Each structure stands twice: as structure tokens, then as C-alpha cells.
Chains A and B, each alone.
Chain A
Amino acid sequence: MTTSIPVPSGASSAPKVNNLGLAKKDYDGVASTLCNGCGHDAITAALIQALWEDGMNPYKVAKMSGIGCSSKTTAYFLSKAWGFNAVHGRMPSVATGALLANRTLIGVGVSGDGDTASIGIGQFVHAVRRNVPLTYVVENNGVYGLTKGQFSATSEKGAKSKYGDVNPSEGIDLCSLALELGATFVARSFSADKKQLVPLLKAALKHRGIAIVDVISPCVTFNNHPDSTKSYDWGREHEKQIHEIGYVNPWDPQDVDYPAGERIEVAMPDGGRILVRKIDRDYDPRDRRAADRLLADAREKGEFLTGLFYVSADTPNLLDMLSLPETPLAYLQQADLRPGREALDEVMESFR
């Protein structure tokens, strides 16, 4: 994580307001009550930055979460938006329902490794399968924070807890799993790598299907010890970016030139573009098989790779497949919904 891609996403000369005329503080939430230095707070800050730079309509964002430290964070950004802190591991279903009711909502789900990889893995799996239009951020620290330090299902086999216990079970790699399930956007990042995390989140927010963003996010209280593989030190030493990434919105000034052949552009449906620049390997995030190989190799070697593993920008999402009307279902009126007398007569006749 040395070079950064020079995209004009507010990094160089930050505008005071975004394309909607809103200041960044308009995307703020209430003060965090997490531990000082918690990785999750850095993710919240990155989310605020990304939502603001992407010009997301604050009123349309539905902040969905489950239970746990990570799930509390939806209160810490965007107070103008509705938040829903549901039950443990069930954020995806509640988010799915909300989006069915109102297709104009922008689904932003925040979950943790316990919430997603343990109790909620079923809902994670099926939300991915259905390609629910949801930015799904997993704040992954390998432990249960609120219940004080038990291993979670993303902890590697052999990982040592703060108290010296050894994790006896295999860890779940959510990105590999998501790919296997047909996810249309799969990325991993590190909460301390804001330069990568912000553009990844911006791209995820503009993705029209499910966007899985697995963010390694150290727990300063229970999983930041020297033996941990989810600590700040470990992450800083081991993070290997597979590419540099940027996100350019249609209204952003034209980006700088990259030498041809070093850059891959992925066009997003709203006219935005994901820019990917090669670091030390040729990797095309539109190639699912390449993503499979990359993650399988990384797992074998115990590598901590970050970046955009896979994106398919034009796969229809759940709502596309339901042929929903322009007006959200929630706003349809009795006259739109209750069939006339002749319809009832017809049904009655079928039972004669």
C-alpha cells in the first residue's frame, strides 16, 4: 500500500460540497461508542467519505445491520437516513424486504464476522444468490467483541486468542464463498487502508447488485495482540494490494492519463467508472475464474490480499427480475392494488 492512484475523488482538492450541494457533515451520524482505535470507526469514516463523494441522496439510504459492535455503527453515519438494527445475523433478510417495498432506497448493510459468517451465514448466502442490490460491508475482526473475545468463524485455524486459546476450526473466507455463490461484486480491504477502502466503497455503492466488501478491521481490545492475524501490525505488514483502485463519478473532472495497457476500466450503470491499475500482476476483476484462482492461491499461501476481486456490473439484480413498477410498492394506493368487482366475480366463478 505505497502508491495511490491519482483520481480526483476529493483526495487532492476536496470540494466543500458534493454534487447534491451537501457538505460532508451532512453525512455524519451520532458519536461512536466503540473502543478508541476500533477499526470499525475507520470504516465508518470511509463510508461517510464514500457516500458523500458518491453524492448519495441521504434520505434514500437504508442503513441495515444486525447485532454486534459492527452493527452498532450504522448509527454513526448519516443521521438523515433511516437505520435498522435488526436481530443477530438477519440483516440481509430485513434489507431485502425493505428494498422490495421501496426500490428507490439505497441499501447499505453493515455486519460483522460473527453476524455474517456464524449466525447469519445462511442469510448471507441467500442474499448473495439473489443478487440483492445491497452494499454489504463485513467489519471483520475475527472475534466476538461485545461478548468479550471468543473466536469467530473467520478466524484462521490455529489462530491464538488474547488469552492463549487456539482456534481448532477452519476459518471461513467470505470472499471465496461469495464468489462461489455467484456474487457480482467481491472486494476485500483493510480498515487502516483508507486510500483503498474509500474508492472500493464508492464503487460498491454504485453497484446495482450485491457488493460484498470484507474489511479486515482490528479489534483493539480483544484481537490486536502479537499472535493475532487480524491486528493492525499484522495487517500493515501483510496487506498486499492486488492493484490500485479508483472510482470516478460522471461529474468528476477527467482523470489523469495512465499508460495504455496498465489500466482496466469498468463502466458502472450510472456512468461512473471503476479504474484499476496494475501493480505487479496482470489481473482483470471481470474474470471470475481468475478471481477463483487468485483467492485459492492466497488461501494456500496465507496471503492477505486486498482489492476488487470480482465485478460484474450488468447482471440483473433481484428487483430487476421482479419487474417492479416505477412507484415503490410501499407507495401504491388502494386503487392501484385492489382489483375491481369483475375480478372478484371471476374468481368466485372459478369456485362454482
Chain B
Amino acid sequence: MTPPSAVETASPGAQTAMVVNDFTILVATVNGTGSQTSNNTLIRTIMGMGVPVAGRNIFPSNIYGLPTWYAIRVCQDGWSGRQRKANVLIAMNLATAHDDVAKAAAGAAVIYDQPMGLDTLRKDLVYYPVPFAKLVKEACPDKPALWKLVTNMVYVGVAAQLLGLDMTSVEAALAKAFGSKPKALSVNQAAVRVGAKWAAENLKKRDPYRVEPRNLTSGKILIDGNSASALGALMAGCTVLTWYPITPSSSLAESLQDYFTKYRRTASGEQRYAVVQAEDELAAVGMAIGAGWAGARSMTTTSGPGISLMSEFIGLAYYAEIPVVIIDVQRVGPSTGLPTRTMQGDLLFTAYNSHGDTKHPLLFPTSAQEAYEMTMVAFDIAERFQTPTFLMLDLELGMNNWLCDPFPYPVGDIDRGKVLTKADIERLGANGWGRYKDVDGDGIPYRTLPGTEIDGAAYFTRGTGHDEQARYTEDSAAYKRNLDRLLKKWETLRNAVPGPVLSPAKSPTRVGLVALGTTHWPIEEARATLRGKGVEFDYMRLRAFPFADAVRDFFASHDRVYVIEENRDGQMAAMLRIEIPETSDKIKSVLHYDGLPLDAETVVEEILAHETR
């Protein structure tokens, strides 16, 4: 990607240089007032005009009455990371309006509810007071009950007029939102039109922000990571989903349930799936483990607090070698933390989760498409390696809307791993196999599924010490043999998980950047900015734990490596130091942990501060 070209030449007749297709709109509302539909209409309208967008919800852990924000990044160069400051502020919430204005970028346009009287707060902004109360009555005079909801659609109309949004595209977005509800559609259409008409007649454009049609979103989709991951689970052949509601993972389970209902129910009403909403996360993972043990592709979805509760079971699944996929949509901890904010805060805790010597594969998707694909990979790894496998989403990826290409249909077949059938046992003889025996030298044993009707197939699963035949033992040598085999399995896994993605500078550099997950986007944007300043770095994006050999190689070929992550303690840096001790002296942590997604500016500042010291 090329660096963003923020300012284009002024269009004919304009007073100031226009900023076209490169700014952030921030809508500040009260949660529970239905602003989500309005914001979706805005983002889809811009997408419909062929201009790349990214939508970010910054919302409270609350149902009604608290402040909520929706940030739409409009960027024709395709950068999707969060920007610190808003260029267009739609201030609809008096409770935060003063603060929202204070934080807006210099020169920002402020569309606000007239009675708030914000226009005296700062002199460097362009103000557009709007009489929403009057306009909404005009839009639906006979339905006062709807005024609160419909007010939000009036701001869509005002913004559409000021930003130059294409009304056909607005209509299409509205049709998508209300297609099946003609009455709601007409009320909302009226509200948008009233807002746009009023703005056309009463507001003089004095800010530089403008959307102009491009052809950059053709064929693309706008999807949240949770839906993408759910779709991956559907395609992966997941049949058992057991879960407990927790923000920000609930929508993943709910999406998967929707897909199941739609695509796994036969004409005769037979359901090729089972979903159970468990009583808590312990039961959720317990059920998933029971199902994995019995041979189904099973999963659970959760967030950090749920992982804490699941820890004992995770150790059991590791030690007894039971496949299960656990999706952690990370939020801000510790404890209940900030349930609706984002963080890469569960890395260390999931990697070595549970008591005793344990380690688990983690996958780090960076995009919606990777969330889709890596969910499928997670199921293959879980069954191939017979071990709990974590997909590490975060709120930023899971609950926000990402513009991307449509997902490809899966290539190749799913891998059910080493399962011995009745015929295999017949061939091997009842004593010819051992549940925890390393036959192939890769540390991965064979298993049978309960219900296989032949003598010698059954074995006993336990979290207590066991020998190669799955018999109870407290024998030191047998215990150690088993633990060492598990380590061998881990070594096999190391190069079976997705390797890192290397993005070298034009010529090799001695300083490198390392990151994972959603911080990739602001980092790429920051690299482009730095490149503009003549500073370049090699960059490695981690996609999984354990670390493939290529990760070690990257450190070996660099003197100094910035490990950029969203937590206070440098959790990924710690994992790198544990697993690859020679990285210790080379690592410099860049840490971002205020609950908001990392932004490119911060990356640029941090790196330059270190490098020019």
C-alpha cells in the first residue's frame, strides 16, 4: 500500500483545500437509542460509494443511558486502524459533548444538537448546530414514540449533505437495514431526507471534509471478526458448540448458531449440530471436552474471565490429550476489567494455562479473513495434535466491522487426526496399540472413539498419572516419559502452526518490528509514515504460538527488535524470552494498554522516540 495522501487539490470553486476520503467521523450518542442502525447506514453509504471504511464501536458495558461512540474511518488508501482524533464529530450526547469537542482534531466539523450550544468551546472548529427536535417532528409528526430513534437518522441526512454523500447510496444502505420492514424503511427515509434538505437550505459548508465516489470497494464485504470466525467453524465441520454468554464473544456463538440453523438443518428437520448454552464457563468447556473426547469437532467461545474459570479443564484436556477449540475474544482485564474495550491481555495466561507443565497452541488472526481461515486451522490442529487449541481474537477484531474481500471457499479436506477404527484394532490386535504410545516418533499418539465395537479398543481417560496404555500409574519413569513425549508433540507442532509473515524493508535492516493480531493495521500504517520520513524497518507478524523456526531466525538477523503489543507487561515479549532465550537482550517493548485499539501515530512516536534517542 502507498502512504495516504491526505490532502487533495481543492475542487473548483471551494474556499479551502478539501480533504477527500481521508478522515474519521465520530458519532457520540447515548447507548440504547438505536444509533447503531444510523451508524451502519453511514458506513454502508460510504462503502457503497466505493470508498474504503472501517467501523469501530466504543461502547459501555451497559444497556441504556451511558455514552457510546462509533468511529468511522474513511480512507481511500485503505488504512483501517483507529485515529486518535475525530475530523467530523456528530455530538448527540450532552453528557460527553464538551469532552468530545475538546478531543476533536483541529479544524474538525461539529454537527450537534442546537440546544447544547457547543460553538463557544473552541475557536478552531467548524460548528453546525442542528435543531433535531424540530426536524424529527417534521420527519414523523404522528409518532412521538419514535422520535428518539429517528433523531439518529436525521443526523445521517445532515452528515450526508455536508459530506457530499450520494443519496442513492444512502437509500441502498437504508434498504439493506430495513428491507423487510417497509414501514420502518419509509420513516427512516423520511428522516434522512428531512435532515439532508434542512442542511442544504440552512448550512453553508465551511469544513474541508468530503467523500467522493471511487471504485475501491467493488465486490468487498464489511464483516465483523466474530461472524467471520463463526463462518470458519461452520466450514470446519464443527458440530458441537457449548458456550456461556460473555462480552465480547457472545455474538460469535450466536452467529454460529444462526449459520447452523440455516446450513445444517436438513429438509426433514434433522439438525447436524448441537448447541448448548451452559450454566457457566466450566460447564461450557467441560461439555466441549466431553464432545471432543467422543469424537465430535467441538468448541467453546469465551473471553478472559471465562478462560480463568476453564483453567482446570484446560489442563485436563492437555494432559489427557483431548481435542477442543477455545475461542478467546480478548477484552480488558484484570478481573472484570473493561468488558467492552480491547486488549491483547490473555497471551501469557492462555499460552501456559493451567497448573503443572502445560502449553497450548495459540493462533493470532489479524483480519476477518484470517479469523475465518484460522478457525478452520484451529480445528485441524486440535484434532491432529489432540490438544486444546486457542484462537485469540480480540474485541477490536471480533466486534468491529472490517472491509475485506469475500472469503474463499476452503481448499482441501479437514484433518481428523489419528483415530483408530474397528478395522484398525482388528488388524493391530487388542494389545497392539497404546493410547499414549508414540508410534510415529512425532509425539502424537493414536486414539479410539468411545463406542467402537471391538475388544481392546476401549481405554480409560484420566487427569491422573497414566502410562502408555492409559493405566493409572504413579511411577516416576512412566510419568516423565509421558511428559517428555508431550514435549516432543509440542516440537512437532512448532512447525505445523501458521508461521510468521515477514515483511522486509526495501533493504535489510538491523532493527525489526514484531507484532500480532489487530495491531498489524496501525503498524503497517506507521511503517508507511516512517518510510515517508526515510526510516524503514523489517517487520514480522506472528501468527501462532509455539514459535516456528522462522521466528528465531528473525531475531538472529536483527540487533534490536520492537515487540509491539496491547498490554502492560509485555506478554508476548515474555513468551519470546521464555521460548527463545537469546531474544532477551534484543527485545524492546512498545506497549499500548488503555483499552482503545493501537493507532499509527502512537507507533510512529514510540519508535522514533527510541530510535532517535
Q: Which A residues lie at the B interface, using CB under 8 A?
A: 57, 59-60, 62, 64, 74-75, 79-87, 90, 92-102, 104-105, 122-123, 125-126, 130, 318, 322-326, 328-332, 334, 336-339, 341, 343-345, 347-348, 351-352
Q: B290, A94: Cβ atoms under 8 Å? A: yes
Q: B221, A351: Cβ atoms under 8 Å? A: yes
Q: Please, could you name 17 A-B residue pairs with CB atoms under 8 Å apart, sorted by A?
A: A59-B451, A60-B450, A64-B290, A82-B451, A87-B463, A93-B282, A93-B284, A96-B286, A97-B291, A97-B292, A100-B287, A101-B291, A324-B271, A330-B449, A347-B231, A351-B221, A352-B221
The one of A98, A338, A351 that contacts B450, using a Cβ cutoff of 8 Å: A98
Contacts of A338 in B (CB 8 A): 234-237, 410, 414
Contacts of B266 in A (CB 8 A): 325
How would residues 254 to 290 of chain B score, 1 for a CB under 8 Å from any chain A CB and 0 otherwise? 0000010011101001111110101110111111111
- CA of A100 to CA of B450 in the docked complex: distance in angstroms? 13
How would residues 410 to 451 of chain B score, 1 for a CB under 8 Å from any chain A CB and 0 otherwise? 100110000000000000000000000000000000001111
Q: A86, B458: Cβ atoms under 8 Å? A: no
The one of B237, B274, B282, B451 that contacts A322, using a Cβ cutoff of 8 Å: B274
Q: Which residue of A lies closest to B463 (CB)?
A: A87
Q: Which residue of A lies closest to B408 (CB)?
A: A344
Contacts of B284 in A (CB 8 A): 93
Q: Could you say which of B221, B279, B452 has the most chain A C-beta atoms within 10 Å of its C-beta?
A: B279
Q: Which residue of A lies closest to B406 (CB)?
A: A348
CB distance from B236 to the nearest CB of A (A): 8
Contacts of A83 in B (CB 8 A): 458, 460-462
Contacts of B557 in A (CB 8 A): none
- CA of A337 to CA of B296 in the docked complex: distance in angstroms? 11
**For chain B residues 213-243, which have a beta carbon within 8 Å of chain A?**
219-223, 227, 231, 234-240, 242
Q: B312, A87: Cβ atoms under 8 Å? A: yes
Q: B316, A87: Cβ atoms under 8 Å? A: yes
Asked whether B453 is an interface residue with its Cβ less than 8 Å from the other chain, the reply is yes
Contacts of A87 in B (CB 8 A): 286, 312-313, 316, 463
- CA of A307 to CA of B452 in the docked complex: distance in angstroms? 35
Contacts of A59 in B (CB 8 A): 451-454, 457-458
Contacts of B147 in A (CB 8 A): none
Q: A102, B449: Cβ atoms under 8 Å? A: yes
Q: A94, B286: Cβ atoms under 8 Å? A: yes
Asked whether B455 is an interface residue with its Cβ less than 8 Å from the other chain, the reply is yes
Q: A60, B235: Cβ atoms under 8 Å? A: no
CB distance from A177 to the nearest CB of B (A): 15
Contacts of A126 in B (CB 8 A): 278-279, 283
Q: A97, B458: Cβ atoms under 8 Å? A: no
Asked whether B472 is an interface residue with its Cβ less than 8 Å from the other chain, the reply is yes
Asked whether B294 is an interface residue with its Cβ less than 8 Å from the other chain, the reply is yes
Q: B296, A79: Cβ atoms under 8 Å? A: no
Q: Which residue of B lies closest to A325 (CB)?
A: B270
Q: B239, A337: Cβ atoms under 8 Å? A: yes
Q: A100, B451: Cβ atoms under 8 Å? A: no
The one of A81, A98, A122, A351 that contacts B458, using a Cβ cutoff of 8 Å: A81
Known: A62-B450, A93-B290. A334 touches B414 (CB 8 A): yes
Contacts of B414 in A (CB 8 A): 334, 338
- CA of A351 to CA of B227 in the docked complex: distance in angstroms? 10
- CA of A331 to CA of B454 in the docked complex: distance in angstroms? 17
- CA of A159 to CA of B280 in the docked complex: distance in angstroms? 33
Q: Which residue of B lies closest to A322 (CB)?
A: B274
Known: A93-B287, A105-B450, A122-B283. A332 touches B316 (CB 8 A): no
Known: A123-B279, A338-B410. A102 touches B451 (CB 8 A): yes
Contacts of B280 in A (CB 8 A): 122
Q: Which residue of A lies closest to B422 (CB)?
A: A59
CB distance from B459 to the nearest CB of A (A): 7
CB distance from A56 to the nearest CB of B (A): 12
Q: Which B residues lie at the A interface, using CB under 8 A?
A: 219-223, 227, 231, 234-240, 242, 259, 262-264, 266, 269-274, 276, 278-280, 282-298, 312-313, 316, 406-407, 409-410, 413-414, 448-455, 457-464, 472
Contacts of A352 in B (CB 8 A): 219-222
Contacts of A325 in B (CB 8 A): 266, 270-272
- CA of A90 to CA of B240 in the docked complex: distance in angstroms? 18
Contacts of B263 in A (CB 8 A): 339, 343
CB distance from B540 to the nearest CB of A (A): 30
Q: Which residue of B lies closest to A33 (CB)?
A: B472
Known: A80-B458, A338-B235, A351-B222. A101 touches B270 (CB 8 A): no
Q: B460, A98: Cβ atoms under 8 Å? A: no
Contacts of A322 in B (CB 8 A): 271, 274
Q: B460, A100: Cβ atoms under 8 Å? A: no
CB distance from A28 to the nearest CB of B (A): 13
Contacts of A337 in B (CB 8 A): 237-239, 264, 272, 297
| Leading 7 A-B pairs by shortest Cβ distance | A97-B290, A93-B286, A330-B295, A101-B296, A97-B287, A101-B294, A94-B290
Q: B221, A328: Cβ atoms under 8 Å? A: no
Contacts of A80 in B (CB 8 A): 455, 458
CB distance from A74 to the nearest CB of B (A): 8
Contacts of B297 in A (CB 8 A): 337
Q: A97, B294: Cβ atoms under 8 Å? A: yes
Q: B269, A328: Cβ atoms under 8 Å? A: no
Contacts of A94 in B (CB 8 A): 286-287, 289-290, 293
The one of A57, A79, A344 that contacts B409, using a Cβ cutoff of 8 Å: A344
Known: A59-B451, A84-B293, A336-B272. A123 touches B286 (CB 8 A): yes
Contacts of A104 in B (CB 8 A): 451
- CA of A271 to CA of B272 in the docked complex: distance in angstroms? 29
Contacts of B288 in A (CB 8 A): 97
Q: A324, B270: Cβ atoms under 8 Å? A: yes
Q: B295, A90: Cβ atoms under 8 Å? A: no
Contacts of B472 in A (CB 8 A): 75
The one of B221, B240, B413 that contacts A97, using a Cβ cutoff of 8 Å: B240
The one of B292, B316, B453 that contacts A86, using a Cβ cutoff of 8 Å: B316
CB distance from B39 to the nearest CB of A (A): 16
Apart from A122-B279, A332-B272, A343-B262, list 10 A-B contacts with CB within 8 A.
Answer: A62-B450, A75-B460, A81-B458, A84-B290, A87-B463, A93-B242, A96-B276, A97-B242, A101-B296, A347-B259
- CA of A84 to CA of B289 in the docked complex: distance in angstroms? 11
CB distance from A153 to the nearest CB of B (A): 18
- CA of A344 to CA of B472 in the docked complex: distance in angstroms? 47
Q: A123, B283: Cβ atoms under 8 Å? A: yes
Q: Which residue of B lies closest to A344 (CB)?
A: B409
Q: A323, B457: Cβ atoms under 8 Å? A: no
Q: B296, A330: Cβ atoms under 8 Å? A: yes
- CA of A323 to CA of B264 in the docked complex: distance in angstroms? 12
- CA of A57 to CA of B455 in the docked complex: distance in angstroms? 12
Contacts of A85 in B (CB 8 A): 460-464
- CA of A257 to CA of B290 in the docked complex: distance in angstroms? 45
- CA of A328 to CA of B455 in the docked complex: distance in angstroms? 21
Q: Could you say which of B273, B280, B312 has the most chain A C-beta atoms within 10 Å of its C-beta?
A: B273
Q: Which residue of A lies closest to B313 (CB)?
A: A87
Q: A105, B287: Cβ atoms under 8 Å? A: no
The one of A86, A92, A105 that contacts B463, using a Cβ cutoff of 8 Å: A86
Known: A97-B286, A122-B280, A337-B272. A82 touches B221 (CB 8 A): no
Q: Which residue of A lies closest to B324 (CB)?
A: A97
- CA of A95 to CA of B242 in the docked complex: distance in angstroms? 13
CB distance from B41 to the nearest CB of A (A): 15
The one of B279, B294, B313, B462 that contacts A330, using a Cβ cutoff of 8 Å: B294
Known: A82-B461, A86-B463, A328-B451. A97 touches B271 (CB 8 A): no
CB distance from A76 to the nearest CB of B (A): 11
- CA of A57 to CA of B295 in the docked complex: distance in angstroms? 19
Q: Which residue of B lies closest to A86 (CB)?
A: B316
Contacts of B463 in A (CB 8 A): 85-87
Contacts of A343 in B (CB 8 A): 262-263
Contacts of A122 in B (CB 8 A): 279-280, 282-283
Q: B454, A93: Cβ atoms under 8 Å? A: no
Q: Could you say which of A59, A330, A341 has the most chain B C-beta atoms within 10 Å of its C-beta?
A: A330
